[in-house]
Amino acid sequence: MMSSPCFFQRAFRTGAGPLAIGLITVTFTGPALAQTTPVISTGTTPAPSPAVEWKVQAKGGLLLTSGNTQTTNGTFGISASRKQGGNKLTLDGAINYGRSNVLTPVVDTTTMPNTVTALNRQGITSTNNWNSKGRYDRFLTPNNAAFVTALAAADKIAGKSFAGGGQVGYSRQVIKDDKNLLVAELGYDLSYERYVESPGKTLDPVSIHSARLFVGETLKLSPATGVTASVEALFNLNREGAAVKVDTTEKGVDAFKDTRVVGKVGLSTTLVKSLSFAFGFTLRYDQNPAPRALPGSTPAGVGYAPDFNPFSDKVDTLTEATLIYTFL
């Protein structure tokens, strides 16, 4: 769960093929809307109300391959923010979905050795996740703010049918000048996770209470180029009695044994007036990941053996390169 701003948002990954339709990103940035107060008849002109600043950004993409590799992947994301005086509201959302037609063998088991007599294609879901976040910041001073965040997400391929929660904390702009913006945050995170189940296995939902640390840097290298980097860490404070301990069938994960870390780095540069290029890398680490969901090619009604309990990988990475076109 990522709560920090960066130059680009969630993208998608898929293999290259003979035919590909690339990513198209559209950004809308609205001008500040000034609000003024009518002049009072006493002859005194009150100070105008703080300007309202709106920003809206939308990103969408589609990639298709055919022939030997047959895939369909789509992504869409949107973010919006409103700032007036010391109040700022930010909303973010993204959805990613992909299907692949993979070759599957038809095996003749009546021969010795068994032989493949034909090849079929089977459609499976290879990407299926969404996330949303709403955050409110109340600036106490120009460099200090209190914040509250609500989050909801799901990633069925990673074994999570739903993941939600909230955060509260304190945010400090440690360095703010013409080239640097260094932000540090300290707070509390509540997470609720519900897992994808397989036939014959019941997985209880898990609640996690965590301490949250965040550090993010935005560096302006030139008028056209900027770099971002951030790290967010969540340290579970409670014993997760309903969680299954990784690589075992035992229930119960002790405090500080389910650390989660998200690291991001990014580069954005303007190519021409309205066209920019962005490159980013994201690493996600989960010390006690979710039990692995059944592969999409598993026959209906088939589940894991009682003594076999595979888990999702502890590390996920995302590398993305996007073109951004800006209107207004």
* DSSP assignment string, 39-72: PPTTS--PPPPPPEEEEEEEEEEEEEE-TTSEEE
Does position 193 have pLDDT exceeding 90, yes or no?
Answer: yes
The amino acid that residue 79 corresponds to is S
**Nearest by Cα to 152 from 134, 168, 136:** 134
| Distant-in-sequence, close-in-space partners of 171: CB < 8 Å, separation ≥ 6 | 137, 144, 145, 146, 147, 183, 184, 185
User: From CA 38, how far away is CA 15, in angstroms rounded?
Assistant: 60
Does position 225 have pLDDT exceeding 50, yes or no?
Answer: yes
Choice among 5-9, 70-74, 137-141, 260-264 with the minimum mean pLDDT: 5-9
| Distant-in-sequence, close-in-space partners of 125: CB < 8 Å, separation ≥ 6 | 97, 98, 99, 156, 157, 296
With beta carbons less than 8 A apart as the criterion, state whether 133 and 3 touch.
yes
CA angle 164, 169, 173 (to 5 degrees): 125
pLDDT of residue 112: 84
pTM, rounded to two decimals: 0.77
When pLDDT is averaged across residues 248-253 and rounded to a whole number, the result is 89
Residue 224 corresponds to which tokens in the numbers above? 């056209």
Q: Determine the longest span between alpha carbons in the chain, in angstroms.
A: 102
pLDDT of residue 325: 66
CB-based burial, 68-98: b 16+ in 10 Å, e otherwise: ebbbbbbbbbbbbbbbbeeebebebbbbbbb
Q: In order of start, what are the domains of the chain with their CATH numbers? A: 23-32+51-327 (2.40.160.40)
**Nearest by Cα to 168 from 184, 146, 151:** 146
Give the pLDDT confidence of 62-117 residue by residue, as tens digits.
889 999 889 998 888 888 899 999 999 999 998 989 999 988 888 888 888 888 88
If pLDDT is split at 50, 70 and 90, which confidence band does 28 have? very low
pLDDT of residue 34: 39
pLDDT of residue 45: 61
Which of left, alpha, beta for 165 (phi over 0: left; psi -120 to 50: alpha)?
left
pLDDT of residue 30: 40
pLDDT of residue 184: 98
Mean pLDDT of the chain: 83
User: From CA 87, how far away is CA 56, in angstroms rounded?
Assistant: 17
If pLDDT is split at 50, 70 and 90, which confidence band does 302 have? confident
How much of the chain exceeds pLDDT 90, in percent?
48
pLDDT of residue 149: 97
When pLDDT is averaged across residues 123-151 and rounded to a whole number, the result is 95
pLDDT of residue 279: 86
Instruction: Supply φ then ψ for residue 181, to 5 degrees.
Output: -135, 105
Between 147 and 24, where is the model more confident? 147
Does position 246 have pLDDT exceeding 60, yes or no?
Answer: yes
Between 287 and 7, where is the model more confident? 287
